[in-house]
Chain A
Amino acid sequence: MPVNPAVPQWIRQMADPDQAVAFFAYQSLLESTLQGGPDPELAKILGEALTAQSAGGARGAASFRNNAFLAAAAQQRTEPLHPAPVRNNLARLLGYLPVEESVAPLSKALQDLDAREMARQSLERHPSPRATAALIEALNYPGPVFCAGIISSLAARGGPQSLAAIRKASEDPQEEIRAAAIMALAAFPDPSLDAILERHNAHIARARLAETLRAAGNKPAADRIYKSILASNAPDPQKKAARLAL
């Protein structure tokens, strides 16, 4: 099905100061995105809009008219073509299109401070393996809360690459990142992870890991964790869970 010719107009209208116009434009794009099926062409258009840059420095250059050096520097500076709410909407829409064409713009948007949280969420559920690689790379970007989100996304995606990245993050000096990583380790059916969780006294995560292992068919490993919880200083609820499981 050809892409609706109104798509570029709707993208622009999402920035309209009239709330009703902007809302209508987003809803129209949402309908096209969801009802048209996973359309690579549409993903390409939305992706280009998400990452489009304008010579936004021209405005700055005008204010530096008495300083040729600063004016030239400002001229070279670009800024996103679309405002932050629009880029957020575009990142969300791309998340509904499970095609390869969505991955590159979403990966690039992980460096866009205004749209990266939505890009992260969209990549979390994207079926492409390239999404995992992009999320792992984003662990190097600034912001502990953002990185905690990346860790949750990697845990949701699973796989050995995600596990390796989260394992490394569990030693991060920043508390928010370390705490998120420790909890995220419980999503991987690997009995050896219990040693890390035990070292951090993470009893809720240990109980979660036991259930992950049990669900993966490794009841003996789950039982070992539960027995260890029972013998530990774990809080009562985790001991109760252990008793129920054993």
Chain B
Amino acid sequence: MPICRRTFLKASAAPALLAQTKPPASDRITIGLIGVGVRGRDHHLRKFLKNPRVQIAAICDVDSTHAAFAAQMAVDERSARPLVYSDFRALLDRRDIDAVVVSTPDHWHSIIAIQAMEAGKDLYCEKPLTLFIEEGRRMVQVARQYGTVVQVGSQQRSDWRFRRAVDLVRAGRIGRLNKITTHLGNPGTTKGAFIHPGEWESVQTPPAELDWNLWLGPAPYKDYSPNRCHFEFRYFLDHSGGRITDWGAHHNDIAQWALGMDSSGPVKIEGKGGFNKVGPYDYAGLMEVRYTYSNGVQVVCENEGGNGVRFHGADGWIFATRMTLEASSPEILQGPVAGADTRSYDERNRNEEIPGTDDHHNNWLDCIRTRNRCAADIETGHRSATVCHLGNIAMRLGRPLQWDPGKEQFLNDPAANILKGKPMRAPWSL
């Protein structure tokens, strides 16, 4: 192949540039990835492979095709093959691994996170942090006990549009805040809203490459069917919380942040949900949940109105999405804001598929070095997930609920308190 000028420059300059930016191996953070399906592979692994601050030492997945594909990505990008595991406990036994990224289905988050923290690893855990409210408190306790740096994967906390919107709201640019609407998008436009009974995939023998029992882990036993596994786990309440935790863990998290309620939550919840009765998905596809906070502000979580967070103030409104930042008048968005988020990350010039991911990763890596708390610390992740779980519980019970965010329990409702947690399938436990 003839060498042209551009090829020559690229080949000769790249190592020099790399040498300037790549920290010495001893300064790099060694990480392992647990769960390398779509999210773990295409968002975390792909980006971490391009991040010179980390070294990928291990990959773990209960589906060997996922693991092999991810390992090959590492070979292609870095010419180094990470060790591959199917059981996360073997990965956690590695003393050379500083930190882990957990991108498994939600029903696994708490067990893996707690065992990782008890093994001395720092943690990046995908959202929603939890499947049930009670496990979140336990996770926070362990993180504090071990001094673990935890970043929850609500990367909108590192997306400039949402950061700016929160700063503007908290600075009073729209006057007194009355209401926040979190729009989770219409499930009718996304895969997995509903499946016609005729499209159900029947129970089958699990494929040879999948350890189905380990995929289920602490979740109630079900025979394998492709409809339940991998990406579609999010539509089953045994494995996830449906749309309200999938997208609510982003948008309700932003609402909590704007309200200054990162360590608290609403006091009253009312919800109406359209639970799918023709299966196999059992989550609430259509919903409207109204949260009332102790300061009187209402947060309404619903499907309609696009996909983003709208702040309604006495003097105007702001609407933030992953693509846009709008306001009732242009002046609201202009000029500096006192007390604004001072993090220097700025991905405005980047063309990310999911905005904020690079900055969220880098914030985590910075905090691992400084031992500061991350932009989406575990307490905030727990509280934001709790808001979503409260919505699900209110919808399932179909009655207004009173919540004590300090004690993290429902008032005068034993049936609701039962739904705060769910025992795990033996032998798994927290």
Cβ B426 vs Cβ A236 within 8 A: no
**Interface hits, A30-67 → B, CB 8 Å:** 30-31, 34-35, 37-38
Q: How many residues of A contact B (CB 8 A)?
A: 51
Among A68-76, A142-150, A190-198, the stretch in contact with B: A142-150
Q: How far is the CB of B44 from chain A (nearest CB, A)?
A: 23
Q: Are B426 and A152 in contact (CB under 8 A)?
A: yes
Q: Are A180 and B423 in contact (CB under 8 A)?
A: no
Hey, which chain A residues are within 8 Å of B197, CB to CB? 18-20
Q: Does B408 contact A (CB under 8 A)?
A: no
Interface centre among B282, B396, B429 (most CB of A within 10 A): B429
> What residues of chain A lie closer than 8 Å to B120, measured between beta carbons?
235-237, 240
B278, B422, B424: which contacts A23 (Cβ < 8 A)?
A: B278
Task: Output the nearest chain B residue to A33 by Cβ-Cβ distance.
Answer: B415
- The stretch of A1-9, A113-121, A160-168 in contact with B is A113-121
Contact status B280-A204, CB under 8 Å:
no
Specify which of B278, B414, B421, B427 is in contact with A127 (CB 8 Å cutoff). Answer: B414
Question: Which residues of B sit under 8 angstroms from A244, Cβ to Cβ?
Answer: 145-147
Which residues of B in the span 379-430 have a Cβ within 8 Å of any Cβ on A? 396-399, 414-415, 418-419, 421-427, 429
* Residue of B117, B279, B418, B424 touching A27 (CB-CB under 8 A): B279
A199 to B370, CA, bound (A): 37
Q: Is B210 an interface residue (CB 8 A)?
A: no
Cβ-based interface call for A216 (8 A): no
Segment 208-246 of A: residues with Cβ below 8 Å from B: 211, 215, 235-238, 240-241, 244-245
Complex: how many Å from CA A51 to CA B403?
36
Q: Which residue of A38, A92, A145, A236 is within 8 Å of B427 (Cβ)?
A: A145
State the B residues within 8 Å of A (CB): 117-120, 141, 145-147, 197, 200, 202, 220-221, 275-280, 282, 396-399, 414-415, 418-419, 421-427, 429
| Chain B, Cβ-Cβ closest to A177 | B427
Choose from B118, B280, B421 the contact partner of A237 (Cβ within 8 Å): B118
Give the Cβ gap from A69 to chain B, nearest Cβ, in Å.
38
- Asked whether A125 lies within 8 Å of B418 as measured between CB atoms, the reply is yes
Q: Name A's B-contacting residues (CB within 8 A).
A: 18-20, 23-24, 27-28, 30-31, 34-35, 37-38, 88, 92, 95-98, 117-118, 120-121, 124-125, 127, 145-146, 148-150, 152-153, 155-156, 176, 180, 183-184, 204, 207, 211, 215, 235-238, 240-241, 244-245
| 7 additional contacts (CB under 8 A) given A211-B141, A245-B145 | A20-B197, A27-B275, A28-B277, A117-B426, A127-B414, A146-B426, A148-B426
CA distance A22 to B397 in the complex (A): 21
With a cutoff of 8 Å between Cβ atoms, the chain B residues found around residue A124 in the complex are 423
Nearest-Cβ distance from residue A101 to partner chain B, whole angstroms: 14
A96 touches B418 (CB 8 A): yes
Q: Does A207 contact B398, Cβ atoms closer than 8 Å?
A: no
List the B side residues contacting A211 at CB < 8 Å. 141, 145
Which 6 A-B pairs have CB atoms at the shortest separation, nearest pair first? A149-B426, A237-B120, A23-B279, A20-B197, A152-B429, A121-B423
Residues of A within 8 A of B280 (CB): 19, 23
Q: Which residue of B lies closest to A243 (CB)?
A: B147
Asked if B414 and A38 make an inter-chain contact with CB atoms under 8 angstroms apart, the answer reads yes
Give the chain B neighbours of A238 by CB distance below 8 A: 118
Which chain A residues lie closer than 8 Å to B221 at the CB level? 117
Inter-chain contact B415/A96, CB cutoff 8 Å: yes
A183 to B223, CA, bound (A): 30
B197 and chain A: residue at smallest CB distance: A20
Quick check: A240 and B146 within 8 Å, CB to CB? yes
| Bound Cα distance from A235 to B414, whole angstroms | 41
Instruction: Provide 12 A-B residue pairs closer than 8 Å at the C-beta atoms, listed in order of the A residue.
Output: A19-B202, A96-B418, A98-B414, A121-B422, A121-B424, A121-B425, A148-B427, A184-B429, A235-B120, A240-B120, A240-B146, A244-B145
Are B145 and A207 in contact (CB-based, < 8 A)? yes
Complex: how many Å from CA A137 to CA B69? Answer: 48
Chain A residues with Cβ below 8 Å from B398 are: 31, 34-35
Please pick, from A20, A117, A207, the residue contacting B278 in the complex, using a CB distance under 8 A. Answer: A20
Please report the C-alpha to C-alpha distance between residue A241 and residue B396 in the assembled complex, in whole angstroms: 40
For residue A145, which residues in chain B have a CB less than 8 angstroms away from its CB?
426-427
- CB of A229 to closest CB in B, whole Å: 12
Chain A nearest CB from B209 CB (Å) reads 25
Contacts of B277 in A (CB 8 A): 23-24, 27-28
Chain A residue nearest in CB terms to B414: A98
Question: Could you say which residues of chain B place their CB within 8 Å of the CB of A207?
Answer: 118, 145
**Chain B residue at minimal CB-CB distance from A124:** B423
In the docked arrangement, what's the CA distance between A64 and B220, Å? 38
Most buried by A among B280, B282, B427: B427
Closest CB of chain A to B99's CB: distance in Å?
13
User: Once bound together, how far apart are the Cα atoms of A176 and B427, in whole Å?
Assistant: 8
B146/A180 in contact, CB under 8 A: no
Contacts of A236 in B (CB 8 A): 120
What separation, in Å, do the CA atoms of A153 and B396 have in the docked complex?
25
Bound Cα distance A95, B418 (Å): 8
A13 to B: closest C-beta gap in Å: 12
Contact between chains at B146 and A24 (CB < 8 Å): no
CB distance from A102 to the nearest CB of B (A): 11
Nearest chain-A residue to B277 (Cβ)?
A27
Chain A contacts for B282, CB-based, 8 A: 23, 27
B-side contacts of A146, CB under 8 Å: 426
Q: How far is the CB of B135 from chain A (nearest CB, A)?
A: 12
Q: Which single residue of chain B is at the shortest CB-CB distance from A98?
A: B414
- Alpha-carbon gap, A3 to B202, bound state (A): 33
- Cα distance A183–B428 in the bound complex, in angstroms: 12
Q: Judging by beta carbons under 8 Å apart, are A152 and B424 in contact?
A: yes
In the complex the two chains form, what is the Cα distance from A151 to B422 in whole Å?
Answer: 15
Least CB distance from A181 to B in Å reads 12
Q: Which of B277, B421, B425 has the largest count of A CB atoms less than 10 A from its CB? A: B277
Known: A27-B282, A121-B423. A34 touches B145 (CB 8 A): no
Q: Do B200 and A19 touch (CB < 8 A)?
A: yes
* A237 in contact with B426 (CB, 8 Å): no
- Whole-angstrom CA separation of A19 from B415 in the bound complex: 28
Contact A24 B427 (CB under 8 A): no
Measured between beta carbons, the chain B residues less than 8 angstroms from A118 are 220
